[in-house]
A and B are shown apart, each in its own frame.
Chain A
Amino acid sequence: MLSVQEEAFDAGEALNQFTAGSGAAGAVVSFTGIVRDDSGSLDYMEIEHYPAMTEKAIAAMIDEATSRWQLTACRVIHRFGRLEPGEVIMMVATASRHRQAAFEAAQYLMDYLKSRAPFWKKEVGKDGESWVESKQHDEAALTRW
């Protein structure tokens, strides 16, 4: 299940709901991404996306993950728009009978979301504004799959 949304969400509540609906799972893994302010000068982050492509691209990643691993459930929530330091950007949750599939599928989804989901982050702060650049190690992480 997939949500691409501007509204804030409660990651704890989302995880509890996911766990309750995860069927015969014996393992649930989740990852929550949070806006961080390394320099202490970030006012907010503006996340842009490509609406016509975003859901299609992420749905394809979820399909691939559920065909590679035996998951009983899978959930991706990703926000766009204006987010302040400390706010939750996104969450991935996976459920499976045993932990390995859930761990691996969550990592797979995160690696692909980083480099293949059409989002772009701009940081706006006291030093002006700048687009977050993609990292070479994020692109390289895809090769392990």
Chain B
Amino acid sequence: MTGMKMQLDVVYFAWVRERIGLGREAVETEAHDVAGLVGELAAREERYALAFSDLSALRVAVDQELCDFDAPLAGAREVAFFPPMTGG
């Protein structure tokens, strides 16, 4: 099935934000899961490809909940990409 597009807010933090050059954008996607979205974003431009070149260095949250890259996007409103957290 193609042509089923959904609108998402995608947010970036720390060096992911710096590498991509923005903190938030509205994205239209046909992806079913986070990995599919990453594929679409990485295919856009070099700066995205660079930011997503090593997924082991990235974490993802869907609607503010940490999840894995195979998490489904059905019903999601916001997806966040960022490096491992350094709180405390």
Which residues from chain A sit less than 8 Å from chain B, CB to CB?
33, 48, 50, 52-53, 56-57, 78, 89-90, 110, 113-122, 131-134, 139
- Contact check, A120 vs B88: say whether CB atoms are below 8 A apart: no
Which listed residue, A56, A113, A115, A120, touches B64 by the CB 8 Å rule? A56
- Complex-state Cα separation, A133 to B78, whole angstroms: 25
- Contact check, A134 vs B88: say whether CB atoms are below 8 A apart: no
- Contact check, B85 vs A117: say whether CB atoms are below 8 A apart: yes
What residues on A are CB-neighbors of B11 within 8 Å? Answer: 50
If over half of A's interface residues share one DSSP class (helix, strand or loop), that class is named, otherwise mixed; here it is mixed
A132 and B61 contact, Cβ closer than 8 Å, known pairs A50-B11, A122-B14 = no
- Contact check, B88 vs A53: say whether CB atoms are below 8 A apart: no
- Contact check, B87 vs A117: say whether CB atoms are below 8 A apart: yes
- Complex-state Cα separation, A52 to B82, whole angstroms: 14
Output the residue of A90, A132, A134 with the most chain B CB within 10 A: A134
